């Protein structure tokens, strides 16, 4: 037999498989239709439940929208309970539940409701392509003022930074208290978590936003799909000043301070006096510092009466206030100090300068004549 007449080799596992012209590529085999859920296996053998607490200020809102929450979970076979006494929300599966993963989605939904997300947005978590992440930022920064500033940096002026993060990552972001609630695709959640944590570690979100914008433009080019993008991404580094640059800045500040003190009529600060001398090492401990009572006994303040102490303290405070007021007044007066100007010379000064120049020229000419005569005398003596 010829090679063309041989039958093609067929895998034994696919021997009885036939073509299915009705099965096209546009059919989604993963998602469940409205009736296919009834053909799944029977009910669950065990009941699954989750509960979460909510703050007091969310109670009023949850009572208003709890009907919508129940209506959204009922088609999936999930029952929900709002406990106002203990301040908790709980979800559990029923005999009508058919999706094993829907209970985890319901748990995420009540968590988002507790963290301040609106009901219209929280219901979207029940979709298969949407996930959520609650990022805790309260224990990253200890200082409360610094924490508030960095948290505000995530939002940006008029919410511009937050809007840019949402557009680039296709996620919904809500900053509430000491947590940040995020909803969206898994890839976007990873990027948002990175931006939030870096911002709380004092890395501005604009750097990550710029990097995401560059990546989005590079993804449009199919030729760069198999190449590394490191050469296109910006490398941001902290700028460390050298010792010479620090010294130059320090001298500039000192010079400005001295100019303002001169304009105010005060003595300038000598940089040599501000330098601390190097201490000589001694193995003995330093002498004990006197107590506050000892200092009061030495100055005689300890024996003063209460009203005398108050009068003395008031006098000292007023003197200090006057010194600070004088320095501030001098600093404000710097703007009104006129710059030094060179006045135009008068007619007498011009004549005097002209005479001096003429005398200098005549004196120079006489010196030249004297040197020439001396050279001539030398020549004649040599001959």
pLDDT of residue 274: 60
Report d(CA 165, CA 204) in Å as an integer: 12
Q: Domain residues of the chain, as ranges?
A: 36-127, 129-235
C-alpha count within 13 angstroms, C-beta hemisphere, residue 151:
21
Radius of gyration of the chain (CA): 43
pLDDT averaged per 10 residues, the chain (length 383) = 58 76 70 51 82 93 94 93 93 90 94 94 92 93 92 92 93 93 94 94 90 88 82 74 81 85 78 70 88 90 89 92 92 78 78 87 76 64 61
Query: Which CATH code fits 36-127?
Result: 3.30.1370.10
CATH assignment of 129-235, among 3.30.1370.10, 3.40.50.2300, 3.40.640.10, 2.30.42.10: 3.30.1370.10
Q: In which element (H, E) is residue 72 found?
A: helix 59-73
Model pLDDT for residues 9-61, shown as the tens digit of each residue: 767 777 777 777 777 777 766 565 544 454 455 678 889 999 999 999 999 99
Question: The dihedral of CA 97, 99, 104, 110: what is its sign?
Answer: negative
- Same fold for the pair 36-127 and 129-235: yes
φ, ψ for residue 310 (rounded to 5)?
A: -65, -40
| pLDDT for residue 346 | 82
Distance CA 93, CA 91 (A): 7
Nearest partner of 76 among 123, 134, 28, judged by Cα: 123
Nearest to 309 by CA among 294, 320, 296: 296
- Going from the C-alpha of 346 to that of each of 216, 351, 353, the distances in angstroms are 73, 9, 11
| Pair 132, 108: CB distance under 8 Å | yes
Write down the pLDDT at residue 35.
Answer: 45
Close Cβ partners of 115 (under 8 Å, ≥ 6 residues apart): 134, 174, 176, 177, 179, 181
Whole-structure pTM value: 0.54
Q: Residue 223: what pLDDT?
A: 84
pLDDT tens column, 271-317: 666 666 778 888 888 889 999 999 989 988 889 888 998 998 999 99
Residues 6+ apart with CB under 8 A from 139: 178
């Amino acid at each position: 037999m010829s090679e063309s007449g041989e039958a093609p080799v067929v895998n034994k596992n696919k021997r009885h498989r036939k073509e299915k012209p009705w099965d096209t590529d546009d059919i989604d085999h993963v998602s469940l239709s409205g009736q296919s859920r009834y053909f799944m296996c029977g009910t669950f053998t065990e009941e699954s439940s989750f509960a979460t607490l909510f703050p007091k200020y969310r109670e009023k809102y949850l009572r208003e929208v709890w009907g919508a929450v129940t209506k959204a979970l009922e088609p999936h076979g999930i029952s929900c309970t709002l406990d106002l006494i203990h301040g908790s929300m709980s979800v559990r599966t029923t005999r009508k539940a058919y999706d094993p993963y829907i209970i985890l989605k319901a748990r995420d939904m009540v968590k988002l409701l507790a963290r301040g997300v609106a009901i219209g947005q929280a219901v979207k978590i029940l979709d298969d392509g949407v996930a959520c992440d609650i990022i805790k930022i309260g224990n990253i920064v200890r200082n409360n003022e610094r924490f508030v500033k960095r948290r505000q940096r995530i939002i940006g002026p008029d919410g511009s930074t937050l809007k840019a993060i949402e557009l680039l990552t296709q996620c919904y972001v809500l900053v509430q208290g000491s947590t940040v609630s995020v909803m969206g695709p898994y890839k976007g959640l990873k990027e948002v978590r990175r931006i939030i944590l870096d911002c709380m570690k004092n890395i501005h979100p604009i750097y990550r936003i710029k990097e995401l914008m560059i990546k989005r433009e590079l993804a449009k080019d199919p030729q760069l799909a198999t190449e590394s993008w490191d050469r296109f991404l910006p490398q941001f580094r902290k700028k460390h000043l050298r010792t010479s640059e620090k010294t130059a800045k320090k001298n500039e500040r000192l010079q400005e301070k001295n100019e303002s003190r001169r304009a105010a009529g005060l003595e300038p600060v000598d940089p040599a006096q501000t330098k601390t001398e190097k201490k000589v090492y001694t193995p003995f401990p330093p002498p004990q510092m006197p107590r506050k009572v000892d200092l009061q006994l030495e100055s005689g303040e300890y024996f003063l009466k209460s009203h005398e102490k108050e009068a003395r303290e008031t006098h000292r405070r007023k003197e200090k206030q006057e010194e600070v007021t004088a320095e501030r007044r001098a600093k404000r007066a710097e703007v009104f100090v006129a710059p030094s100007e060179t006045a135009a010379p008068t007619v007498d000064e011009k004549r005097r300068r002209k005479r001096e120049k003429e005398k200098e020229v005549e004196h120079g000419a006489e010196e030249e004549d004297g040197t020439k005569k001396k050279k001539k005398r030398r020549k004649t003596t040599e001959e």
